[in-house]
């Protein structure tokens, strides 16, 4: 909606080439105000990652096409390919997890704790007012290595908790489940093996669809019997904590399934660590959480903000009146992915989390718009000004000296700017101080320094002529 | 050379599909050590941009193909196009200047001082040991707006000077010229109007080729007469400062050319401002500087490091023994570019500079390798360890408390790690402190804190049970 999409007729005749001045579909520019907010959000996230001892890496924006092939299941159709211009076939990265796994296998790294903040690309249907873009940032934190069960997994959840707390976005909760529990559940409900993944995708829609509709999809589209679907329905309505894990370990059917038992035992252990990390007040063991991606093998999680975003003014359509922000972070364990890249299939167990920063930006931007505090887009401390004419040289010289001592300073690029326009520049951009040069001050060897807001003035002895 | 390019035979038969584990041609991953250096370099550059009062923006990695069309002259063939997957035709950005101009026109912005640090893409012949990649960072600073002559231009040069000084890369100099002086010079030498741009490209090669070879290209390939080429040869050998500008304003031929006079008068003014900014010791007015891009309209400049890089060990080939780093920054004035995007052709005068960060990374990485000081890739202040078994819960609890108070802390993800391996982790990653938990300390309510390097120990009263 913010895109200015006017058309400039370059040719004379109608129907001739029309040049559209816009960014590509589903993408946006960040203006200075948005960048200031983005910097603030990144600082909070990066501080948290560093507090947890993470290193950082970077990978190219495109990968060999075959590196991405077979990693995303049905979502593969959303990958951006580059044109074949001779040479290799390339695709834009779809997430940061697959490039990370490729990096580990290529460099034979068996343990690392790293974060990676970068843009990823999906040819999805954009919904930009809800913060859904085709080019968007991911902030990933992952722990790779053979470690004792659930300790790194618990740290990932602790990190989500810390970041969402510090960003101060209101109440949130983190759903947790395990792929092995899901698979075990499908098995004991009577889902045929080959349908696990596709039924998993259907269960994943429970956050947007009612159970009745999910059930219909299972029966009518995926060919499950009513009975089987009903049995799944009972399980996926369950929510709890450590107690639920214990209860399900006693479940006559689930307790017979090896996969489910392994998942439930780990879930109990996870909650005991979360207790030590003091984060159990926000974490819910939820059997309906499925997550779409194919590569997860163990624990999975997703953080959801309770808050709804009011619809932006431009938007019309009643059903858009207030939308749930939904998931702002998600992740899980993927122990098989690195092995897919290793020529000998050597596995490196991994667990990680990805913060979905665009939705967070949307909320922060709306907060900033309604706040009385003005967002500064520069850090300039002082403007070097003059009240009289013909003092450009003196202004430039003083500004240069301020720069040389590390002071953030600006000067207007005019020979003889009016004092009023110099003061206006300070007020518009939030520069707190103005150094005003005049003939008399130069003679006396002083600089007049004025506080823009309070108009208080002090005279400082100038270094200029020393 | 650092790419591990092993091949994994996925099929059984030879000649079948071979999966190559590598990054795309001309690109590289950044490992944690390289990222630590990159962060340091970016901090210096961003601090400088902020000291000069710049805001920052960001634009998408791809633009509509037609946004880039007709902006880069002969270099257009190096643009990466995306595959046509239905919808718009897109290309990866080739630089940050054209997206900046598109941004200004689209948002009708007539004045801004902004920086933009992002990756750009060129399907060039990579020379990675010399820091030439197909995906590389640019750090751009630009001033857009209608201002008095040469004041913003001088600030751009001041910025290059400050950044190269602070990066501490050894001696450097900045060549300055003006497109109008070049055009005037071509005119008075007898170059036909339609050959200005192509002769400009040939002059641009003088930093890599001897005059004799440049002359041959002018005469044999571009069809100039010997006489005309010789006259150009006389001018392009000239170097100096403000004095040279004054001298050329007296030149019987050049002084008759309006373009040249305007350029020379501005050059004089520029040097007077550079004098006030105390940077003339590194700036040379050099008539051989041409710069390839089509969009420059006034002053142009390029910063060159004097240092040569020794050839990396892997490299063989005698002529690669020591290569000049060459240009590490460049830019100039482009008053017509924004108008190309505006439907009414409204112009926004711009001047800017782009720091070529990859070559700087190469130098810094080599410096780090030969330095005795180890580059840390994490900022962890303390490792929470134990000497005895069965203290995992206590370790996790203390670590969590440290995180909650903002201390950067790590804990090994093992139930019962050996003290030695915990201390080794500190030494390998440079963690300065280790908190050692033991039964006795827990009973006494204290924590033993050891300085890893000096082995000094202190006991602190623990908050754990309060």
Strand (E) or helix (H) holding B434: strand B433-437
Distance of CA A268 to the CA centre of its chain: 29
Interface subset of A 141-170, CB within 8 angstroms of B: 143, 145, 147-148, 151-152, 154-155, 158, 162
Q: How many CB atoms lie within 10 A of CB A209?
A: 14
CB interface of B with A, residues 399-438, below 8 Å: 400, 403-404, 406-410, 413-415
Average pLDDT of every residue of chain A: 90
Q: Does B72 score more than 90 pLDDT?
A: no
Nearest by CB to residue A81, choosing from B83, B121, B407, is B83
Between helix A226-236 and helix A196-203 the angle, nearest 10°, is 50
Q: Is B315 on the interface with A (CB under 8 A)?
A: no
> Element (H or E) spanning B234, and its range?
helix B226-236
pLDDT for the residue numbered B353: 97
Rounded to 5 degrees, what are φ and ψ at B270?
A: -55, -45
| Mean pLDDT for chain B overall | 90
Residues of chain A with CATH 3.40.50.800: 382-461
Cα-Cα-Cα-Cα dihedral of B254, B260, B265, B268, to 10°? -80
Third-level CATH fold of B7-370: BirA Bifunctional Protein; domain 2 (3.30.930)
Which pair of tokens denotes residue A422? 């110099």
Name residues whose C-beta falls within 8 Å of residue B373's C-beta, 6 or more positions apart in sequence. none
Residues of chain A with CATH 3.30.930.10: 7-171+306-370
Mean pLDDT of B194-218: 91
Contact assignment for A403 to B162 by CB distance below 8 Å: yes
Give bridge partners of residue A175 from the DSSP assignment: A284, A302
pLDDT > 90: what percent of chain A?
A: 76
Q: Which 8-state DSSP code applies to residue B128?
A: G
Beta bridge partners of B353: B141, B331
- The whole-angstrom separation of Cα B208 and Cα B302 is 14
- The closest alpha carbon to A399, from A408, A390, A389, belongs to A408
If you measure CA to CA, which chain A residue comes closest to B134?
A60
How close is the nearest chain A Cα to the Cα of B372, in Å?
21
Spatial neighbors of B349 by CB under 8 A, at least 6 apart, are B144, B145, B146, B147, B333, B335
Cβ–Cβ gap B81/A81 under 8 Å: no
CA B27, B379, B389, A152 dihedral sign is negative
Best B2, B8, B17, B23 member to test A by mutation, with max A CBs in 10 Å, is B23
* Nearest CA-CA distance, residue B220 and chain A, Å: 32
pLDDT band of residue B227 (cuts 50, 70, 90) is very high
Position A17 scores a pLDDT of 52
**Kind and range of the H or E element at B138?**
strand B135-144
Q: Which residues of chain A have pLDDT under 70?
A: 1-18, 308-325, 463-466
Largest interatomic CA distance in chain B? 95
Q: B90, A20: Cβ pair inside 8 Å?
A: no
Cβ-proximal residues to B135 (8 Å cutoff; 6+ apart), any chain: A60, A61, A62, B24, B26, B27, B119, B120, B121
- Where are the alpha helices (H) located in B107-178, listed in sequence order? 151-167
Q: Is B406 left (phi over 0), alpha (psi -120 to 50) or beta?
A: left
Query: For residues B277 and B162, is the Cβ–Cβ distance under 8 A?
Result: no
Strands lying side by side in the sheet with B299-305: B55-56, B112-121, B135-144, B350-356, B327-333, B299-305, B172-178, B283-286, B239-240
In sequence order, the 6+-apart residues with CB closer than 8 A to the CB of A372 are: none
Instruction: Calculate mean pLDDT across residues B23-48.
Output: 96
Separation of alpha carbons A190 and A192, rounded Å? 6
Is B114 an 8 Å CB contact of chain A? yes
Query: How many residues are there in chain A?
Result: 466
- Structure letter (DSSP) for residue B30: B
Q: Report the half-sphere exposure of A108 (CA within 13 A, side-chain side).
A: 6
Is B95 known to sit in a ligand binding site?
yes
- Tokens at residue B187, please? 């005119």
**CATH superfamily entry for domain B382-461:** Anticodon-binding domain (3.40.50.800)
CB–CB of A343 and B123 under 8 A?
no
Measuring CA to CA, which residue among B48, B152, B273, B45 is closest to residue A403? B48
- Per-residue confidence (pLDDT) for residue B91, from 0 to 100: 98
The CATH number of domain A7-171+306-370 is 3.40.50.720: no
* Close Cβ partners of B62 (under 8 Å, ≥ 6 residues apart): A24, A27, A135, B82, B90, B91, B92, B93
Q: What is the SS3 assignment for chain A? A: CCCCCCEEECCCCCCCCEEECCCCCCCCCECHHHHHHHHHHHHHHHHHHHHCCCEECECCCEEEHHHHCCCCHHHHHHCCEECCCCCCCEEECCCCHHHHHHHHHHCCCCCEEEEEEEEEECCCCCEHHHCECCEEEEEEEEEECCCCCCHHHHHHHHHHHHHHHHHCCCCEEEEEEEHHHHHHHHHHHCCCHHHHHHHHHHHHHHHCCCHHHHHHHHHHHCCCCHHHHHHHHHHHCCEECHHHHHHHHCCCCHHHCHHHHHHHHHHHHHHHHHHHCCCHHHEEEECCCCCCCCCCCCEEEEEEECCEEECCCCCCCHHHCEEECCEEEEEEECCCHHHHHCCCCCCCCEEEEEEEHHHHHHHHHHHHHHCCCCCCCCCCCEEEEECCCCCHHHHHHHHHHHHHCCCCEEECCCCCCCHHHHHHHHHHHCCCEEEEECHHHHHHCEEEEEECCCCCEEEEECCCCC
B173, B65 Cβ separation under 8 angstroms: no
Long-range contacts of A317-321, Cβ-Cβ distance < 8 Å, separation of 24 or more = A320/A129
The nearest CA of chain A is from the CA of B152 a distance in Å of 6
Residue B42 phi, psi dihedral angles, 5° rounding: -60, -40
Nearest alpha-carbon partner for B52 in B152, B175, B168, B167: B152
* Global ipTM: 0.89
Mutate to test the interface with B, among A6, A21, A149 (most CBs of B within 10 A): A21
Confidence band for B286, pLDDT divided at 50, 70 and 90: very high
Q: Are A330 and A354 in contact (CB under 8 A)?
A: yes
Q: How far apart are the first and last CA of chain A?
A: 56
Q: Torsion angle, CA of B210/B212/B216/B219, rounded to 10 degrees?
A: 120
Q: Cβ–Cβ of B406/A158 closer than 8 Å?
A: no
- Residue B102: partners with Cβ closer than 8 Å, 6 or more residues away: A21, B59, B63, B67, B341
Partner-chain contact A28 B60, CB within 8 Å: yes
Q: C-alpha dihedral over B161, B163, B169, B173, to 10 degrees?
A: -20
B56 DSSP 8-state letter: E
Please identify which residue in the block is written with the tokens 């939030």: A430
Is the separation of the CB atoms in A442 and A398 below 8 Å?
no
Q: How confident is the model at residue B323 (pLDDT cuts 50, 70, 90)?
A: very low
How close A466 gets to chain B, by Cα (Å)? 15
Q: What pLDDT digit, counting tens, does each position of A136-194 carry?
A: 999 999 999 999 999 999 999 999 999 999 999 999 999 999 999 999 999 999 999 99
CB proximity B341 to A under 8 Å: yes
Mean pLDDT of B55-81: 92
Percent of chain B whose pLDDT exceeds 90: 75
How confident is the model over B234-284, as pLDDT tens digits?
Answer: 999 999 999 999 999 999 999 999 999 999 999 999 999 999 999 999 999
CB-based contact A253:A181 (threshold 8 Å): no
Rg (CA), chain A: 29
A62–B377 CB contact, under 8 Å: no
d(CA B462, CA B439): 13
**Are residues A312 and A193 in contact, defined by beta-carbon separation less than 8 angstroms?**
no
At B324 the pLDDT is 54
What does residue B379 show for φ and ψ, rounded to 5 degrees? -115, 15
Taking a C-beta distance cutoff of 8 angstroms, is the pair B407, B382 a contact? yes
Closest by alpha carbon to B5, among B34, B19, B15?
B19
**Distance in angstroms (rounded) separating the CA atoms of residues B310 and B323:** 7
Confirm or reject contact between B372 and chain A (CB < 8 A): no
A83 near B CB under 8 A? yes
Q: Give B317-324 contacts, CB < 8 A, sequence gap 24+.
A: B320/B129, B323/B130
């Amino acid at each position: 909606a913010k895109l200015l999409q006017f058309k400039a007729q370059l040719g004379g005749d109608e129907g001739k080439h029309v040049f559209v001045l816009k960014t590509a579909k589903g993408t946006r520019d960040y203006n200075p105000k948005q960048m200031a907010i983005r910097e603030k959000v990144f600082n909070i996230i990066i501080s948290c990652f560093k507090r947890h001892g993470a290193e950082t890496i970077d990978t190219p924006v495109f990968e060999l096409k075959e590196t991405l092939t077979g990693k995303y299941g049905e979502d593969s159709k959303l990958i951006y390919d580059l044109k074949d211009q001779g040479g290799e076939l390339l695709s834009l990265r779809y997430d940061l997890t697959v490039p990370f796994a490729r990096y580990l296998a290529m460099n034979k790294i068996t343990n690392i704790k790293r974060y990676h903040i970068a843009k990823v690309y999906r040819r999805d249907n954009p919904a930009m007012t809800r913060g859904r873009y085709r080019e968007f940032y991911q902030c990933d934190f992952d722990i790779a290595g053979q470690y004792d069960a659930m300790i790194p997994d618990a740290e990932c959840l602790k990190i989500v908790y810390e970041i969402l707390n510090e960003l101060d976005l209101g109440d949130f909760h983190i759903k947790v489940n395990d792929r092995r529990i899901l698979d075990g559940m499908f098995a004991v409900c009577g889902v045929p093996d080959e349908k696990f993944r596709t039924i998993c995708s259907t269960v994943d829609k429970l956050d947007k669809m009612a159970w009745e509709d999910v059930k219909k999809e299972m029966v009518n589209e995926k060919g499950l019997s009513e009975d089987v679907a009903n049995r799944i329905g009972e399980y996926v309505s369950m929510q709890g904590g450590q107690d639920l894990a214990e209860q399900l370990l006693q479940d006559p059917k689930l307790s017979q399934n090896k996969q489910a038992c392994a998942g439930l035992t780990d879930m109990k252990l996870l909650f005991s660590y979360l207790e030590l990390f003091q984060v159990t007040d926000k974490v819910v063991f939820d059997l309906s959480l499925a997550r779409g991606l194919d590569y997860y093998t163990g624990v999975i999680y997703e953080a959801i903000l309770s808050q709804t975003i009011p619809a932006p003014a431009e938007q019309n359509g009643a059903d858009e009146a207030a939308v749930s922000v939904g998931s702002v972070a998600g992740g899980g364990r993927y122990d098989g992915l690195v092995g897919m890249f290793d020529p000998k299939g050597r596995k490196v167990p991994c667990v990680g989390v990805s913060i979905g920063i665009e939705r967070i930006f949307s909320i922060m931007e709306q907060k900033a718009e309604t706040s009385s505090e003005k967002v500064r887009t520069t850090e300039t401390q002082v403007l070097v000004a003059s009240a009289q004419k013909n003092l450009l040289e003196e202004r430039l010289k003083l500004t240069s000296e301020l720069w040389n001592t590390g002071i953030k300073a600006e000067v207007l690029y005019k020979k003889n700017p009016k004092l009023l326009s110099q003061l206006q520049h300070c007020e518009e951009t939030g520069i707190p101080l103005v150094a005003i040069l005049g003939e008399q001050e130069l003679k006396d060897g002083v600089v007049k320094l004025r506080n823009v807001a309070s108009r208080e003035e002090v005279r400082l002895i100038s270094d200029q002529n020393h």
